[in-house]
Amino acid sequence: MSGGRRRRAPPPEPEYQPGQLLDWRNSAHWDYEQARPCRYCGLDTHLRDSKKAPAHKVCAETALTQQAADAADAYQNGTTT
């Protein structure tokens, strides 16, 4: 056997597109009775996140993306808590 095996290239990073991260098709994410201010942008929404807090899907995805980027940055810099 020869040691000439080629290494595979890492998979390409998936490009994030708004609206693709979270799946809120379940009716549990909808409050039929009252619109409340989104916890991120302050505009009224009938949508609720998994903890029943009012949040637009796009706002929640943006916040999750930012949190992941901050965590990766902290890990790279060795400043994790």
**pTM for the full predicted model:** 0.64
Reported as a single tens digit per residue, the pLDDT across 3-38 is: 667 777 766 666 655 556 678 888 888 999 999 999
Does residue 40 contact residue 62 with C-beta atoms inside 8 Å? yes
DSSP string, 20-74: SS----SGGGB-SS--EE-TTT--EESBB-TTS-B--HHHHHHHHHHHHHHHHHH
pLDDT, residue 69, reads 85
What does the domain layout of the chain look like in residue ranges? 27-77
